[in-house]
Structure 1
């Protein structure tokens, strides 16, 4: 990872510009200067963007809103739905000023070279993922023509999704795998080390994820895209070997959950999450619980038995004044659980932040099959998804079988089946709070709570309702407010209870605990 940090330092010294005159540019460019940069350097930095400012961009917002975690620091505004520009505002600025410009640099320098077709396609697949994160966070954003340094119109989320799905189709099909093709390669492609087949699988799987986002807003398009994703070249992810994840650095900030849960004591498991670890299967405790979580006792991770607790318990979300004993009495991430994706085992080569799990892809297929959009047995796919998560986390086969056998089958109405499916998907997606928050907004499952101490008086979310998006940053209001959606072009109207385009669920349940609007 030290090599990656050096690369970032070098990239920071590169100025991307164009001259007014070719002759003038030649006269003022030393013969030995660098005028082009190999795309692997840009692409490497683009992949690391998923963990940039992780605490402020993800942990204090999607992670809390998905209720994987609860905050244990009194006075933090985001758990009670406040917008803090110095935190989440970084995501917007980093995307437009660094990540997007790196992508455009690759396109500008190599987009017309036939030997870089695969590299351009892989870059586009990755950017489709990054763009989806951005629009799912904010809603309508500058998209077409963004990154040029000019003020850009905001495009609707419907327009952006339409283009992302088209780009994924084009990119996955463009990959040739030819020997003459430039590859990012091991050490620079941090995810798949240049394996184009795995990139196609991820591209198709991402297309399926985005297709399911449309389930309540454009059923026909969702069905078409889901079927196309399943049948794309080399298909979907087929095992845990295909998981999309970005490696981290165990000796510094990139050890993100260790820093936040142990070094800073900012987070503990959410009470919502702990409840679902004990109420899903007839066996009782989810066997992933003791791998994922521990209690912090004298600075060391301890099992619930060692710490004197009956369960791995979590703290309620949304305290204004957090109980002073929160650090001691609620479970945190297990530094010695063996699940190396979180915190490693001393070997930095084994630490990762998740982008897409194989289990998620199986859950997506299960939902699509349940809706009749693709072939397959929805209940079998749902059970396979749970098994894939257990295998990935490191649960032994016997405990996995017992837990899965104790799960209720998908039965009854499709709405009740969807609630059970999404709840298990939410568990399996831990700790990917970005995706978990998106699923909750799309389906209103699983059941999560409102802030314990109520929505903050400084929030732009109505009391008794959930946060639905993040407002635009102050820099966007200052520099490009005229191009914002007319209903959100002031800091007063740019509210965080406004639904994004694909969020049509009503956040109000019937008496039986099911939603009105998913199927």
Structure 2
């Protein structure tokens, strides 16, 4: 009996010993069990560019009318929602992007040596939250990313919290603390893990302040007191100073983000052509062709344009594209414009997050409203010139175009329309911002789908799309947490305005709105 007991105890001890060593025995000695901060930050910073076609091009790029769809059956241009496309945006943010951010914060956020990294991450996370709430409106925010479903917060609550978070992050960054961990480029790396600014913390601070200025002007109609205060604070703290401060995301040959961006969509796949709306602005603002037009666009055929030949675009919202699609302009495959082709050495393309030209136009609007010093007209022209320089326009051509631009004149509403139209051109190809500006100000003049709003869309005929509805997955799992008026697929309409969109997007007889002042 004693021998049996001793035998059983021996077996149990052996089992315990084995299970105690199980994790060690079954872990590769060369495996990376904790991601390095730079590796994880690079993945986080590239998040917005993944699935670009489905998340952005088939929606914001078409809604802003920078591009027009050329594929029959792709009805998002007629305001249909396709969950297998833009639904990725919702799922990728909440299950991947936000989870990666929380992991980086959990692993390194308690160590003071990573304080600057945490502040940079905070600014980037804020830009991503802004991207999400401006698409959808009210979304899960407070407590999101911690493994449990949380109530949807109002867009106003989110904006107010983001203002505070960005301000705190910018003020906490210490550029002089040499004890801080850095994301600088190491030997053998083609780029710094900080793919946005190469660990230039002053640029990160200017980006944070510029992001606050974007948010402030976004709420100018719905919350002007808050907008004025935040705009002044952002400008005084220091916003972008030149094209060297542009925030954009690079991608290269061995990177999966390279596959899914404008060059492939326009040239390789021929899924898009330039919108007629956008190209018409290349010829309507002055007596000359906008000198950016032929840098951005060309025809698919190899025959060169003659000097007086006008580029023509596709009207938005065709159900079936008319015959002769090669007669419509597409992306210029030969251009070295940084927004498309990259730098010609390391990167295949860049996706803009925020351009310096946008910051100048934001300051121009703040000046127009009397919220900031400076001359609105001069700031607008400076914004146009910054765009020309960034695109690579010959300085003499840029000056000729700028000299022909009419000065801001008439009522404030007339001035704003002119200013936003020029901003719309200069912000190309950032369709997310162009669509947001149109919803906020109702400028520039954008057409309704030429074949009408789709009968399968949740947008009333004769009106514009105002937001993206929540994903099917969200409706299945979070219905009880959603806003009461949008907690079913039928009620979650895409003609419901987000918080900062105060008008119905209907013009008066003179082409002006009455909602912006």
TM-score (norm. length: structure 2): 0.91
Pairing of 1:9-48 with structure 2 (within 5 A): 30=24, 36-48=34-46
Aligned residues: 486
Structure 2 counterpart of 1:200, from 195, 199, 205: 205
Q: Displacement of 1:149 after TM fit?
A: 1.8
Q: Displacement of 1:75 after TM fit?
A: 1.4
CA distances 1:233-279 after superposition (whole Å, capped 9, x unpaired): xx111110110011112466615112101111100000000110000
Structure 2 counterpart of 1:266, from 271, 281, 284: 271
In the alignment, the residues of structure 1 paired with residue 455 and residue 20 of structure 2 have an alpha-carbon distance, to the nearest angstrom, of: 59
Matched, 1:182 2:181: yes
Q: Displacement of 1:42 after TM fit?
A: 1.5
Indicate the residue corresponding to 2:292 in structure 1.
Answer: 288
- SS where residue 254 of structure 1 aligns? helix
In the alignment, the residues of structure 2 paired with residue 47 and residue 165 of structure 1 have an alpha-carbon distance, to the nearest angstrom, of: 20
CA distances 1:264-311 after superposition (whole Å, capped 9, x unpaired): 1100000000110000123x20000010001011xx4x54329xx821
Indicate the residue corresponding to 2:109 in structure 1.
Answer: 111
In the alignment, the residues of structure 2 paired with residue 230 and residue 190 of structure 1 have an alpha-carbon distance, to the nearest angstrom, of: 25
Q: Are residues 141 and 27 of structure 1, via their aligned partners in 2, closer, same or farther at CA, if it must alter by over 3 Å?
A: farther
Structure 2 counterpart of 1:244, from 243, 247, 252: 247
In the alignment, the residues of structure 1 paired with residue 305 and residue 69 of structure 2 have an alpha-carbon distance, to the nearest angstrom, of: 21
Q: Displacement of 1:185 after TM fit?
A: 2.2
TM-score (norm. length: structure 1): 0.91
- SS where residue 247 of structure 1 aligns? strand
In the alignment, the residues of structure 1 paired with residue 106 and residue 402 of structure 2 have an alpha-carbon distance, to the nearest angstrom, of: 50
- SS where residue 296 of structure 1 aligns? coil
Structure 2 counterpart of 1:387, from 385, 388, 394: 385
Q: Is the 8 A contact 2:339 2:349 kept in 1?
A: yes
Structure 1 counterpart of 2:336, from 335, 338, 343: 338
In the alignment, the residues of structure 1 paired with residue 304 and residue 226 of structure 2 have an alpha-carbon distance, to the nearest angstrom, of: 48
Q: Are residues 113 and 344 of structure 1, via their aligned partners in 2, closer, same or farther at CA, if it must alter by over 3 Å?
A: closer
In the alignment, the residues of structure 1 paired with residue 146 and residue 291 of structure 2 have an alpha-carbon distance, to the nearest angstrom, of: 50
Pairing of 1:350-499 with structure 2 (within 5 A): 351-499=349-497
In the alignment, the residues of structure 1 paired with residue 344 and residue 360 of structure 2 have an alpha-carbon distance, to the nearest angstrom, of: 31
Q: Is the 8 A contact 1:118 1:176 kept in 2?
A: yes
Q: Is the 8 A contact 1:294 1:312 kept in 2?
A: yes
Indicate the residue corresponding to 2:318 in structure 1.
Answer: 319
In the alignment, the residues of structure 2 paired with residue 180 and residue 350 of structure 1 have an alpha-carbon distance, to the nearest angstrom, of: 35
Indicate the residue corresponding to 2:49 in structure 1.
Answer: 51
Q: Displacement of 1:380 after TM fit?
A: 0.6
Indicate the residue corresponding to 1:17 in structure 2.
Answer: none
Indicate the residue corresponding to 1:305 in structure 2.
Answer: 306
- SS where residue 355 of structure 1 aligns? strand
Q: Is the 8 A contact 1:250 1:347 kept in 2?
A: no
Pairing of 1:50-89 with structure 2 (within 5 A): 50-89=48-87
Deviates more, 1:441-450 or 1:28-37: 28-37
Structure 2 counterpart of 1:254, from 258, 274, 277: 258
Q: Displacement of 1:418 after TM fit?
A: 0.5
- SS where residue 499 of structure 2 aligns? coil
Q: Which runs of 5+ in 2 are unaligned?
A: 1-18, 186-191
Q: Displacement of 1:312 after TM fit?
A: 1.1
Larger Cα Rg: Structure 1 or Structure 2?
2
Q: Is the 8 A contact 2:384 2:426 kept in 1?
A: yes
In the alignment, the residues of structure 2 paired with residue 94 and residue 362 of structure 1 have an alpha-carbon distance, to the nearest angstrom, of: 32
Indicate the residue corresponding to 1:7 in structure 2.
Answer: none
Q: Displacement of 1:108 after TM fit?
A: 1.3
CA distances 1:310-344 after superposition (whole Å, capped 9, x unpaired): 21110100001111321x11000111122133024
- SS where residue 495 of structure 1 aligns? coil
- SS where residue 455 of structure 2 aligns? coil
Q: Is the 8 A contact 1:141 1:155 kept in 2?
A: yes
Q: Is the 8 A contact 1:117 1:181 kept in 2?
A: yes
Indicate the residue corresponding to 1:11 in structure 2.
Answer: none
Matched, 1:213 2:218: yes
Q: Which runs of 4+ in 1 moved over 6 A?
A: 25-28
Q: Displacement of 1:506 after TM fit?
A: 2.6
Q: Are residues 134 and 405 of structure 1, via their aligned partners in 2, closer, same or farther at CA, if it must alter by over 3 Å?
A: same
In the alignment, the residues of structure 1 paired with residue 425 and residue 279 of structure 2 have an alpha-carbon distance, to the nearest angstrom, of: 10
Q: Is the 8 A contact 1:506 1:517 kept in 2?
A: no
In the alignment, the residues of structure 2 paired with residue 98 and residue 115 of structure 1 have an alpha-carbon distance, to the nearest angstrom, of: 26
Q: Is the 8 A contact 1:257 1:343 kept in 2?
A: no
Indicate the residue corresponding to 2:165 in structure 1.
Answer: 167
In the alignment, the residues of structure 1 paired with residue 210 and residue 323 of structure 2 have an alpha-carbon distance, to the nearest angstrom, of: 44
In the alignment, the residues of structure 2 paired with residue 355 and residue 293 of structure 1 have an alpha-carbon distance, to the nearest angstrom, of: 21
Q: CA RMSD in A?
A: 1.7
Indicate the residue corresponding to 1:21 in structure 2.
Answer: none
Matched, 1:133 2:139: no
CA distances 1:356-386 after superposition (whole Å, capped 9, x unpaired): 1100000000000110111111111000000
In the alignment, the residues of structure 2 paired with residue 435 and residue 510 of structure 1 have an alpha-carbon distance, to the nearest angstrom, of: 24
- SS where residue 468 of structure 1 aligns? coil
In the alignment, the residues of structure 2 paired with residue 26 and residue 100 of structure 1 have an alpha-carbon distance, to the nearest angstrom, of: 34
In the alignment, the residues of structure 2 paired with residue 515 and residue 320 of structure 1 have an alpha-carbon distance, to the nearest angstrom, of: 30
In the alignment, the residues of structure 2 paired with residue 29 and residue 303 of structure 1 have an alpha-carbon distance, to the nearest angstrom, of: 65
